[in-house]
Amino acid sequence: MVDEAGNVETGTGASNGNRLWTPWRMTYVGGKRRETPPGMSIFSAIAAEPEHDAENFVLYRGARAFVLLNLYPYNTGHCMIVPLRQIAAFDALDAAEMVEIALLLPWLTRVLTTTFHCDGLNIGLNLGAVAGAGVAEHLHWHVVPRWQGDANFMPIIAETTVMPQLMPDTYAAICHTIAAIPPPTLSDDLTTQLLHTFPTAQPTVIPTKD
């Protein structure tokens, strides 16, 4: 409520109150999710509609994985790397998927560091709902930029994450960096590329003491 002087009345005698507007989180707070066909994850639904990549904040599509912004981020620039194939178990990834994701991870850290000049990054994945996976049926890696002193009382006391930049602006900034730092590419002959990168060698046998 605003009084005649333009001050915000809080009902507690305080004035000039501040508000943090985060309307994009309303769907998350309300417990609603985008509806998908039975058995299809939200990531599979996004993967199936490349014509809506900008709307879905998809930053890059590879042959076996794609990169997108997290719609409910822990920090500005919170991205995810997701295999195109819907799998829940880490050991279900095939060799080609693992190689592509392994190449995308360092590239994405470079892109985010260049874009946001962050002091560090959290990289990880949660296997299973009990481990904190929000989309347990579809494996995905989180890459979260961090800054010195970015932790504060808001997530703990108010259960609110303060985001200094709107999602479309974050998306545009990262896309601008990607134009200057192109993603890694895999040759069609994955085996040849791997042998060239990691030449075969005889294993070193460490003698054991009797």
Q: How many domains, in total, are found in the chain? A: 1
26 located within any domain: no
User: Would 91 be classed as within a structural domain?
Assistant: yes
State residue 183's pLDDT score: 93
Q: Provide the pLDDT for residue 206.
A: 58
pLDDT of residue 11: 44
Whether 117 sits among the annotated catalytic residues: the reply is: no
pLDDT given at position 39: 87
Q: Which residues pair with 111 in a beta bridge?
A: none
Q: What pLDDT, on a 0 to 100 scale, did the predictor assign at position 178?
A: 97
Tens of pLDDT, residue by residue, the chain (210 residues): 444 554 444 444 444 555 555 555 555 555 556 677 888 999 999 999 999 999 999 999 999 999 999 988 888 999 999 999 999 999 999 988 999 999 999 999 999 999 999 999 999 999 999 988 889 999 999 999 998 876 644 443 444 455 557 889 999 999 999 999 999 877 656 555 665 665 554 455 555 665
- Burial string for 92-123 (b: 16+ CB within 10 Å, else e) reads ebeeebebbbebbbebbbebbbebbebeebee
146: left (phi over 0), alpha (psi -120 to 50) or beta: beta
pLDDT at res. 115: 96
Nearest-angstrom CA–CA distance, 58 and 47:
9
Q: 111 and 177 in contact (C-beta within 8 Å)? A: yes
Q: What is the CATH number of the domain that holds 69?
A: 3.30.428.10
- Is residue 14 in some structural domain? no
- Residue 13, in any domain of the structure: no
CA angle 33, 107, 45 (to 5 degrees): 25
Distance CA 151, CA 144 (A): 13
Rounded to whole angstroms, how far apart are CA atoms 67 and 104? 8
| Domain that includes residue 89, residue range | 52-185
Q: For position 166, what pLDDT does the model report?
A: 82
- Dihedral (C-alpha) 69, 132, 75, 164: value to the nearest 10 degrees? 90
Task: Tell me whether residue 191 is in a domain.
Answer: no
pLDDT at residue 141, as a whole number: 96
**64, part of any domain:** yes
Residue 69 lies in a domain: yes
d(Cα 164, Cα 21) in Å, to the nearest integer? 11
The reported pLDDT for the residue numbered 37 is: 80
Catalytic residue among 140, 142, 176, 196: 140
Sequence-distant (6+) residues with CB within 8 A of 1 are: 8, 9, 11
Cβ atoms of 116 and 76 closer than 8 Å: yes
Report if residue 58 sits inside a domain: yes
